[in-house]
């Protein structure tokens, strides 16, 4: 099979489209015939040697996938050959930019029937990040208020929709040209960060979901109520600032699970969650996708997906 490998860390030029043996699933794994693989910033971090996890070389890039189960490993129950599935390959977030990939059964679920494989491959990491930030980390419930930074981004767009479905009031920051899009998703208040200050629109909020970092993150402490939570998927918040303001501040790494994916599948199949694919490239053009990640090509409005083989 063909797979995008790296033998040393570095820029996209380090990526090689190698011919490698099709792997065999071990206990708790399935072999997936990949129809589509999602591309995300974390793929670039791994390629560049900036992953927070140990990543022995050589490795195959990619984590988000959608496809069909080809072989079931020992001890696997509840999934069969031919099942259409989507999710993430494994806790190291590698292996998906290939014609076949191994996936941990604890990190995949049945694909939403209303989505194509390309659409499904765009969902797992970013949608679960939004879910986890809102409900597992911030533990928000109906009637509370959240400030979501970067509401027009890939994670932010899901966070706005999920919060609205859960009856949580949303204040969202977005660029001028994205304000209408975020309103469409269901945000209650949209702050154009290019012309307005979010501090003027947000007061005593229950939580901030930070998808931006930097100065925006530090300024966010002042809009939280006492005992509120700042949850960042970007960087470790300033614990001294948190202590001084009487709030909790946490950085989290996404943990994609079958439970999260199953919840998302139900919402998507009921028409309650919109996906957004920004660019579709053939598997052979994965290096081009990484040029986009590096800012060497114009960014799409939505997720980058690699189409593998026939759809």
- Same domain flag for 149 and 187: yes
HEC secondary structure over 75-115: CCCCCCCCCEEEEECCCCCCCCCECEEEEEHHHEEECCCCC
* 259 in any annotated domain: no
What CATH number is attached to the domain comprising 71?
Answer: 3.90.180.10
Q: Are residues 237 and 149 in the same domain?
A: yes
Q: Are residues 92 and 39 in the same domain?
A: yes
Specify if 59 maps to a domain: yes
pLDDT at 52: 87
Tell me, yes or no, whether 14 and 108 share the same domain: yes
Q: Residue 175: is its pLDDT beyond 80?
A: yes
**106 in the same domain as 44:** yes
On whether residue 264 sits in a domain, the answer given is: no
pTM of the model: 0.97
Look at residue 82 and tell me if it is in a domain.
Answer: yes
- Two tokens, residue 192: 């154009």
Range of the domain at 280: 2-123+275-307
283-290 mean pLDDT? 98
Based on the fold, state whether residues 60 and 135 are members of the same structural domain: no
Please check whether residues 109 and 214 belong to one and the same domain: no
Q: How many domains does the chain have?
A: 2
Same domain, 134 and 171: yes
DSSP 200-264: GT--SEEEEEESS-HHHHHHHGGGEEEEEEEEESSS---HHHHHHHT-EEEE------HHHHHHH
pLDDT digits (tens, 9 = 90+) for 232-254: 999 999 999 999 999 999 999 99
- Residue 37 maps to a domain: yes
pLDDT tens readout for residues 118-157: 999 999 999 999 999 999 999 999 999 999 999 999 999 9
| C-alpha span between 44 and 51 (Å, rounded) | 9
CA-to-CA separations, 178 to 8, 149, 174, 183, 252, in angstroms, rounded: 38, 13, 6, 9, 26
Domain CATH code at residue 229: 3.40.50.720
Domain co-membership, 91 together with 166 = no
Q: Are residues 91 and 139 in the same domain?
A: no
Tokens read off for 281: 């490239």
């Amino acid at each position: 099979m063909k797979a995008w490998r790296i033998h040393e860390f570095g820029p996209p030029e380090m990526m090689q489209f190698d011919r490698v043996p099709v792997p065999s699933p071990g206990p708790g794994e399935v072999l997936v015939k990949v129809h589509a693989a999602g591309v995300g910033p974390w793929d670039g971090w791994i390629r560049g040697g900036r992953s927070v996890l140990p990543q022995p070389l050589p490795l195959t890039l990619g984590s988000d996938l959608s496809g069909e189960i080809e072989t079931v490993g020992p001890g696997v129950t509840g999934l069969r050959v031919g099942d259409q599935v989507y999710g993430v390959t494994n806790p190291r977030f590698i292996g998906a930019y290939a014609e076949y990939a191994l996936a941990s059964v604890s990190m995949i679920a049945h694909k939403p029937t209303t989505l194509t494989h390309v659409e499904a491959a765009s969902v797992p990491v970013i949608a679960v990040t939004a879910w986890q930030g809102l409900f597992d980390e911030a533990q928000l419930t109906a009637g509370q208020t959240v400030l979501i930074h970067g509401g027009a981004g890939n994670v932010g767009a899901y966070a706005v929709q999920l919060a609205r479905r859960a009856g949580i009031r949303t204040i969202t920051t977005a660029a001028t040209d994205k304000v209408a899009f975020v309103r469409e998703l269901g945000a209650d208040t949209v702050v154009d960060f290019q012309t307005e200050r979010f501090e003027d629109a947000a007061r005593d909020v229950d939580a901030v979901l930070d998808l931006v970092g930097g100065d925006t993150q530090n300024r966010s402490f002042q809009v939280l109520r006492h005992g509120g939570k700042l949850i960042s998927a970007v960087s470790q918040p300033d614990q001294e600032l948190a202590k001084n303001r009487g709030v909790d501040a946490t950085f989290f790494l996404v943990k994609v699970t079958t439970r999260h994916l199953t919840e998302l599948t139900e919402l998507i199949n009921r028409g309650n969650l919109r996906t957004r694919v920004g660019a579709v490239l053939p598997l052979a053009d994965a290096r081009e996708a990484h040029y986009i990640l590096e800012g060497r090509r114009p960014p799409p409005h939505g997720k980058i997906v690699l189409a593998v083989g026939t759809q």
